[in-house]
Amino acid sequence: MDETTDGPPAHDRHVPVLLATSVELLVPALQEAGAIYVDATLGMGGHAAAVLRAAPQAQLVGIDRDPQALELARQRLDREGVGDRATLVHATYDEIRDVLAALDLPGAHAVMMDLGLSSFQIDTTDRGFSYAADAPLDMRMDTDSDGPTAADLLRELPEAEISRILHDLGDERFARRIARRIVEQRETAPLERSGELVALLDRAIPGASKASGGHPAKRTFQALRIAVNEELEILASALESALDCLHVDGRIVVESYHSGEDRLVKTAFARRTHSSAPPGLPVELDEHLPTFTPLVRGALKAADAERDTNSRAASVRLRALTRTRPARRGH
């Protein structure tokens, strides 16, 4: 086993958020023999294992861009006795349709997306995801990819683009100030390690602002991770693919942890749950009728008890739909 997958079992290292709620929402669509459950962000398999236990006739297609997480998930599913019903695929989750086609599957009966960063990725200190440990500034979820690292972005992007990333993807109030410091520092010593970035942020962010809102590096690290992995661009495409591939009566559950993610989910879901008829049309044609119905009202949040015991639950927003009609033209 690769040393980065050593350590406690997956179930001891990652606690899935809103697990019981997700299972309750997904399982009704997985009652038929051979029903296909796609976990598009498999991670360490916490949601997948629970769904397979609750839906004993379902088959899992698990997708993840992180090969190390896939290995941990494989171990977990085997240990919990459901690995024989699982097909795991190394891919990004906007490739759902391609993955299903390669497996000769016409669609899915349920889809789960648990967005953001897993505890495993934070705990794997050599990736540079965590501001609590010094490591190379990589932040790629798929270390086999040839895409730019966080260090590459900080070394090569213009100051204005660094500022935009920090502001738009991290809600960082001091984005311009931080970007200026980064550009000044890289003239003599480009940032290569997470510890160097944390030290720069400590100098750049005013002391009065460090007293609240969590660690001062949290927003910058989040923004860089999202940018490095093109998470919002991939999510927008993935949502459309997932919705398109669902059978009638199929269900989708998405958990997001960032305002930008949740806006994309809300927008994509709204398009499928509202009429597409042009304003003023006297008669609504079948092709204009919504094809999905919400399973929950708005976005669910975690209860206080879960928020107190699982830090990832603090910012979660869960949205869920069920397909009620076949796809209309264009969808």
CA distance 219 to 168: 10
Residue type at 57 in one-letter notation: Q
Count other C-beta atoms under 10 Å from residue 131's C-beta.
19
CA distance 116 to 264: 14
- Flag whether 64 is marked binding: yes
In the chain, the largest separation of any two C-alpha atoms, in whole Å, equals 67
User: Nearest-CA neighbor of 71 among 167, 129, 122, 4?
Assistant: 4
Chain-centre distance for alpha carbon 109: 20
Q: Are strands 246-256 and 108-114 parallel, antiparallel or unpaired?
A: parallel
CA–CA distances in Å: residue 65 to residues 129, 143, 144, 266: 16, 9, 9, 24
- Flag whether 14 is marked binding: no
- Flag whether 298 is marked binding: no
- Flag whether 109 is marked binding: no
- Flag whether 31 is marked binding: no
- Flag whether 45 is marked binding: yes
The answer to whether the CB of 228 falls within 8 A of the CB of 148 is yes
- Flag whether 34 is marked binding: no
The answer to whether the CB of 111 falls within 8 A of the CB of 242 is yes
CA distance 327 to 312: 35
The answer to whether the CB of 81 falls within 8 A of the CB of 8 is no
CA distance 3 to 23: 32
CA distance 175 to 178: 5
Going by the annotation, the residues of the binding site are 45-47, 64, 93, 114, 121
Going by the annotation, the residues of the binding site for S-adenosyl-L-methionine are 45-47, 64, 93, 114, 121
